[in-house]
Structure 1
Amino acid sequence: MDEHALELVRGGDHPVGVLDPPGKRNERAHLPDQRQRHQRAQGGGNHHGLGEQPGDCPLRTDQSHHPSIPRGPPVHLSAWRAGPRQCYSPAVDFVAGTFAEPQRPEGVIEDRCPADLSVLLGRHGWALSQVDRAVDAARAAQPSWAARPGGERAALVRRIGEVLKGRAEELARAIALDVGKPLWESRAEVQACVAKAAITVEDGLRLVAPFPAPGQPDAECRFRPLGVVAVLGPFNFPVHLPNGHVLPALACGNTVVFKPSEIAPHAAELYARCLAESGVPPGAFNLVQGPGPVGAALAAHPGVDGVLFTGSWAVGQAIQRASLGQTKLLALEMGGKNAALVLRDADLDKAVYDALFSAFVSAGQRCTAASRLIVEGPPARADAVAARIAAAAERLSIGHPLREGVFMGPLASEPGLEKFLAGSRAAPETMLEPRALSPGGLRGWYVTPGVHRVRARTGSAYEREELFGPDLAVYDSSSEEEAVAIANSTDYGLAASVHTASREAFERCLSTLDCGVVNWNAPTVGASGRLPFGGLKRSGNHRPAGLYSALYCAAPVAILQGEPRLDRAKLAPGVGWVDE
């Protein structure tokens, strides 16, 4: 399967069994002072239920108008609630080949399932001192790892892919419970991780293979590893996106320190266990858990030679500021305010479905999610399209990520939910209002989709900023040129799609859209792992990932080869030479 796009996966019915913990309940006898405790939701308060609200979206299973959205008969919630309330032992770090919690924690993260706050996934300690330990371990291991033959490193990457495949269901369930992503999506994420191993070895490493200068036999280019790289992962693809950095980094001879999102510690730990099972040498890959200060310390650490980051523009800026005066490489994948263009000749059924999928898959928590739909034609045409999308959005199945037939799970955190609802309330005209809900009585961070109509551009924060939730604004445009201008009117430039029957029209849009990904008659969330993936403007720093990830994991070295003995006939003018 192509990397980055799970995107085009339209999973069918998936069986759901009892939620069984991978190990016995592990109670911790002593924890640091609760005043030091960092809640799972980046300092959020107590996890309280949002309560049933009038008009909450029901758990729909009749998806007859959208047959490729996962659907199935209702499943009683007892099918997964039968498990114990504590599902995991505390998440731990992996440093120098050993799994363990910090000996002297500076704080504790309490990790609750965003789909059901009554499920405690675990509590685990964190400490800034672990950053030094992990970087020291990576630096100690790097020379010997880089000295291994490239074929040996590539073989390890292939083994990692095999282990990930063998533990795919376990990983998918960990992702679903950590961040609330439906199981069909979580499975697709793991499939993308498996595919990345083959893509790295078969295609990515070709980009950093030695090559001679054309027509110059005494000149060649080779590549060397950076050294120690820090991988700072996001919560929305807690395994796939970090994996997209880790595998090429290891294959190129680097060692890695991975700091995952504190929202997804258990999926990250399970990923680390897969690498350990694959035979990664001690210190070549390290995992350090913790909140934002841990990531900040890792990014600024003088022993780190490169920072590979996926997250928001604000955090990306902070990493850049912290790196001033240092020579480390930065590869930053940041946000998007992505637009789907529907030209006059587009197939409206296809355009409406692709917009629906692009805006609301992953509950809108993708950097490539469509947040704007620009319809060419009179305002009445955009009105009709917006009404169709709103009606379809009301029929989406929302519920627990392990429940069969669910299209949308919850948002991943309480702060994310609050920010989304506040941002959506600023929309100028509401056709479908997003609301917090409690499907089946579940206490979690659930929300219904929002659809809004924008008739006049004002440059408001709603029109410019990423909401990172299930929200779609529908615009009308009088021409193709105006549609492109609206699409380009934000500070982001990650993804866009163009729906048109005309290749000429698509090519015109392609040449003027300020985006790193432009799809034709496809969702904005579609991409290929065998192509580069990255954005312009605030969406990136011109170091695309995907296939090109190997290029920021290795540094080119230019080599000129001269004659081994002095040729006196070639002395520079004015040089007097005296033999010994």
Structure 2
Amino acid sequence: MTSLDRPHLFIGGQWVPPAGNETIPVEDPATETIIANVPAGTAEDVDRAVAAAQQAFDGWAGRTMAERGAVLDRLHTALAAKAGDIARTVGLELGTPLKIAKAVQAGLPLTVLRGYADLAVRPEPEQTIGNSLVVHEPVGVVGAITPWNYPLHQVVAKVAAAMAAGCTVVLKPSELTPLVAYLLFDAADEAGVPGGVLNLVTGTGPVVGAAIAGHPGVDMVSFTGSTATGRAIAHAAADRIAKVALELGGKSANVILEDADLIKAVKVGVGNAFLNSGQTCTAWTRMLVHRSRYDEAVDLAAKTAAGYTVGDPFDEATRLGPLVSQNQQDRVRGFVERAAASLVAGGPDAPLPGTGHFVAPTVFADVDPQSELAQEEIFGPVLSIIPFADDDEAVTIANNSRYGLAGGVWGSDERALAVARRMRTGAVDVNGGAFNPLAPFGGFKQSGVGRELGEYGLAEFRQVKAIQR
């Protein structure tokens, strides 16, 4: 036992022991030491959680939006008091540098939760079409399955929207980073969230995740993670005609036109690609640069990458922490070692700390748009730079992907906006436009189905009913 161990599940408004005795160790990826253990939940635990969510559904769905908003407001207050603990916990279990953990891993979910608390106090949406009254009702019990890279944000994006819509939730956080989810449930307990509205079952994907995805009492599955796992979840839900929302992989392009502010475009682009050690589904991992500025951009990207200090997440000088696990480190190193392109920064032989799952910030130039490096989601600090001749070729290369989640364009405003409109992707930032947590988030093609955040995220957890009169 360690001081961070969490031996219980949260079901029906109570901290309860799991059905089995098996546990899952949680590793600090910077030191490769075990820092905690959590329950390895079972299908029986999922059954109990779903039953609690079903029992709570009618009462929660029957509350007004304003009443649900008041609960979310209390939850926000309780969770905001834990912001420092959130940042430290994510720093320990994921390795996010503390400065970034405070701003993104703690700050972003609090912003999202605040947004849904505010949205929930608006009147229930209704519309009259001829003799029909069109109303929006909660979809039911939601099974939420979340990833390890933004372990609280991805939870809150689902849980807060589902609660605001009137749904009840059974959550399975990633087994790699489950500890921060416990802080949310501590806050839910303190805030007096009604029993059964939120339920937590930790465990593995093949056991707990599969049990949630295939459970007949789960009306909707909301999943964020790999495209391969999303495909399996969609199949499981399809067998019982359950609704799914999937936020999956990405291979986003950052298009730098010849009239762009090159220094800003490259520096911001490198920072975007390396955020969270590259473990970000929206990362601009393909930098597309006009040939007239290409050599200059490659040199600037290499120098920028060299300035990223790799090391202890709790050292203020660190800009790049470890990858989440040995498996992830091995996978990313495999891509780097197989790459058939010009290595201009980092690489497999770059110096690294003696322990921890680190990969050096790596930049490749002259990358073939059809190559593995340009097509596969690497999920590590690896940037590919690709030249293009004109706007049409830039769009063709950007859209040459089975993914379509995010992207960037830099250049004169009207021209950059025209290119952004042609990119087949769910979000595009023009000239460094800031991420908007109230705007819809989601992807085209194999990047997913449905949207999260703001009013569009709320709509995912509702059904539409027509009442004729």
For the superposition of Structure 1 and Structure 2, which TM-score range results when normalised by the shorter chain? over 0.9
Note the alpha carbon deviations across 1:80-117, whole angstroms, 9 max, x for none.
xxxxxx44123531111222331423x43111111111
Q: Which residue of 2 aligns with 1:394?
A: 306
Q: Which residue of 2 aligns with 1:51?
A: none
Query: Bigger radius of gyration, 1 or 2?
Result: 1
Cα 1:546–1:448 change in 2 (3 A) is farther
Equivalent-residue separation in structure 2 for 1:497 and 1:503 (angstroms): 12
Equivalent-residue separation in structure 1 for 2:396 and 2:60 (angstroms): 49
User: Percent identity over the alignment?
Assistant: 35
Task: Tell me, yes or no, if structure 1 residue 407 matches structure 2 residue 319.
Answer: yes
Report the AA paired with residue 408 of structure 2: S
Secondary structure, aligned partner of 1:446: coil
Deviation larger for 115-124 or 464-473: 115-124
Task: Tell me, yes or no, if structure 1 residue 96 matches structure 2 residue 12.
Answer: yes
Mapping of residues 207-286 of structure 1, within 5 Å: 209-213=124-128, 216=130, 218-286=131-199
Secondary structure, aligned partner of 1:303: coil
Equivalent-residue separation in structure 1 for 2:106 and 2:326 (angstroms): 25
Of residues 9, 26, 29 in structure 2, which corresponds to 1:111? Answer: 26
Q: Which residue of 2 aligns with 1:307?
A: 221
- Equivalent residues of 1:199, 1:530 under 8 A apart: yes
How far is the alpha carbon of 1:483 from its aligned partner? 0.8
Mapping of residues 410-421 of structure 1, within 5 Å: 410-421=322-333
- Equivalent residues of 1:180, 1:411 under 8 A apart: yes
Mapping of residues 292-441 of structure 1, within 5 Å: 292-293=205-206, 294-378=208-292, 381-429=293-341, 430-435=343-348, 441=354
Q: Which residue of 2 aligns with 1:535?
A: 443
Secondary structure, aligned partner of 1:121: strand
Q: Which residue of 2 aligns with 1:504?
A: 414
Deviation above 6 Å: which 4+ runs of structure 1?
none
Q: Which residue of 1 aligns with 2:42?
A: 127
Equivalent-residue separation in structure 2 for 1:451 and 1:91 (angstroms): 42
Report the AA paired with residue 131 of structure 1: V
Q: Which residue of 2 aligns with 1:287?
A: 200
Secondary structure, aligned partner of 1:370: coil
Cα 1:323–1:520 change in 2 (3 A) is same
TM-score (norm 1): 0.77
Of residues 365, 373, 390 in structure 2, which corresponds to 1:453? Answer: 365
Equivalent-residue separation in structure 1 for 2:335 and 2:121 (angstroms): 42
Report the AA paired with residue 403 of structure 1: D
How many aligned positions are there? 466
- Equivalent residues of 2:247, 2:450 under 8 A apart: no
- Equivalent residues of 2:66, 2:121 under 8 A apart: no
Secondary structure, aligned partner of 2:59: helix
How far is the alpha carbon of 1:220 from its aligned partner? 2.5
| Contiguous gaps of at least 5 residues in structure 1 | 1-26, 28-85, 562-580
How far is the alpha carbon of 1:455 from its aligned partner? 5.0
How far is the alpha carbon of 1:470 from its aligned partner? 0.5
Report the AA paired with residue 237 of structure 1: Y
Report the AA paired with residue 113 of structure 1: D
Report the AA paired with residue 191 of structure 2: S
Cα 1:300–1:328 change in 2 (3 A) is same
- Equivalent residues of 1:87, 1:122 under 8 A apart: no
Equivalent-residue separation in structure 2 for 1:186 and 1:374 (angstroms): 29
How far is the alpha carbon of 1:530 from its aligned partner? 1.5
- Equivalent residues of 1:397, 1:408 under 8 A apart: yes
Report the AA paired with residue 393 of structure 1: A
How far is the alpha carbon of 1:204 from its aligned partner? 6.5
Task: Tell me, yes or no, if structure 1 residue 549 matches structure 2 residue 457.
Answer: yes
Cα 1:204–1:417 change in 2 (3 A) is farther
Report the AA paired with residue 243 of structure 1: V
Equivalent-residue separation in structure 2 for 1:192 and 1:232 (angstroms): 19
Task: Return the structure number with greater helix share.
Answer: 2
Secondary structure, aligned partner of 1:451: strand
Equivalent-residue separation in structure 2 for 1:542 and 1:284 (angstroms): 23
Note the alpha carbon deviations across 1:272-321, whole angstroms, 9 max, x for none.
11111111111111000011121111111111000111111001100111
Task: Tell me, yes or no, if structure 1 residue 492 matches structure 2 residue 424.
Answer: no
Cα 1:544–1:280 change in 2 (3 A) is closer
- Equivalent residues of 1:244, 1:546 under 8 A apart: no
Deviation larger for 122-131 or 170-179: 122-131
How far is the alpha carbon of 1:438 from its aligned partner? 8.0
- Equivalent residues of 1:299, 1:319 under 8 A apart: yes
Q: Which residue of 2 aligns with 1:467?
A: 378
Of residues 560, 575, 578 in structure 1, which corresponds to 2:468? Answer: 560
Task: Tell me, yes or no, if structure 1 residue 515 matches structure 2 residue 429.
Answer: no
Note the alpha carbon deviations across 1:542-562, whole angstroms, 9 max, x for none.
44444411101111112222x
Report the AA paired with residue 408 of structure 1: L
- Equivalent residues of 1:91, 1:266 under 8 A apart: no
How far is the alpha carbon of 1:227 from its aligned partner? 1.1
| Contiguous gaps of at least 5 residues in structure 2 | none
Task: Tell me, yes or no, if structure 1 residue 137 matches structure 2 residue 48.
Answer: no
Deviation larger for 88-97 or 179-188: 88-97
Equivalent-residue separation in structure 2 for 1:285 and 1:377 (angstroms): 53
How far is the alpha carbon of 1:168 from its aligned partner? 0.7
Note the alpha carbon deviations across 1:21-46, whole angstroms, 9 max, x for none.
xxxxxx3xxxxxxxxxxxxxxxxxxx
Secondary structure, aligned partner of 1:375: strand
Secondary structure, aligned partner of 2:33: coil
Equivalent-residue separation in structure 2 for 1:448 and 1:263 (angstroms): 22
Of residues 150, 156, 163 in structure 1, which corresponds to 2:65? Answer: 150
Secondary structure, aligned partner of 1:323: helix
Query: Which one scores higher on RCO, CA 8 angstroms, separation ≥ 6?
Result: 1
Equivalent-residue separation in structure 2 for 1:146 and 1:438 (angstroms): 55
Task: Tell me, yes or no, if structure 1 residue 168 matches structure 2 residue 83.
Answer: yes
TM-score (norm 2): 0.95
How far is the alpha carbon of 1:423 from its aligned partner? 1.4
Report the AA paired with residue 136 of structure 1: A
Equivalent-residue separation in structure 2 for 1:414 and 1:554 (angstroms): 40
Q: Which residue of 2 aligns with 1:78?
A: none
Equivalent-residue separation in structure 2 for 1:401 and 1:104 (angstroms): 34
Equivalent-residue separation in structure 2 for 1:437 and 1:383 (angstroms): 23
Mapping of residues 82-93 of structure 1, within 5 Å: 86-93=2-9
Cα 1:210–1:437 change in 2 (3 A) is same
Cα 1:148–1:204 change in 2 (3 A) is closer
- Equivalent residues of 1:437, 1:446 under 8 A apart: no
Equivalent-residue separation in structure 2 for 1:406 and 1:212 (angstroms): 53
How far is the alpha carbon of 1:128 from its aligned partner? 2.6
Equivalent-residue separation in structure 2 for 1:267 and 1:276 (angstroms): 15
How far is the alpha carbon of 1:123 from its aligned partner? 5.3
How far is the alpha carbon of 1:456 from its aligned partner? 4.1
Equivalent-residue separation in structure 2 for 1:487 and 1:239 (angstroms): 30
Q: Which residue of 2 aligns with 1:80?
A: none
How far is the alpha carbon of 1:538 from its aligned partner? 0.7
